Structure 1
Amino acid sequence: MPTICSPLSGRVAAHCSSPDDSVSTGDPLLIVESMKMEIPVEAEAAGTVVRYLVEVGAEVTEGQPVVELR
């Protein structure tokens, strides 16, 4: 299963889809807030969201897995 990782450290501000949702390449999966900016974490390939590995409000680090796709 492909795993999407956070490109930066910050706090998860929102999930943009739900498990079992289909996503296309470039679709936002979640929003990371860092330094008062909101940065979307996008799908790197088309697929289906299996699960989120982080909850809204959680702190994430650069390179941390955040979403599993299939």
Structure 2
Amino acid sequence: MEEVKAAMAGNVWKIVVNVGDEVEEDQDVAILESMKMEIPIPAEEGGTVKEIKVSEGDFVNEGDVIAILE
């Protein structure tokens, strides 16, 4: 199991995967918006999206879990 975590604080601008999707290492899972910049959040390992812990528009802090992969 891998937790995909926010690299910095910001708003969840877009979630680019769905539960059940297969993702590869370095594939973007979500995109944050911070200081008018878009920051992609990639998976560190490949796997299947088990759970998405945030919604578009949510504010997250650095280290908050965005998604869980199996």
TM-score bracket for the superposition, by shorter chain length? over 0.9
RMSD (Å) for aligned C-alpha atoms: 0.6
Query: Which 4+ stretches in 1 moved above 3 angstroms?
Result: none
Identity %: 36
Partner of 1:32 in structure 2? 32
Number of aligned residue pairs: 70
* Partner secondary structure for residue 38 of structure 2: strand
- Amino acid in the other structure paired with 1:17: V
Paired with 2:62 and 2:45, the residues of 1 have a C-alpha distance of 20
- Amino acid in the other structure paired with 1:59: F
1:1-70 paired onto structure 2 within 5 Å: 1-70=1-70
Gaps of 5+ in 1: none
Paired with 2:28 and 2:41, the residues of 1 have a C-alpha distance of 6
Paired with 1:21 and 1:53, the residues of 2 have a C-alpha distance of 15
Displacement of 1:51 after TM fit? Answer: 1.3
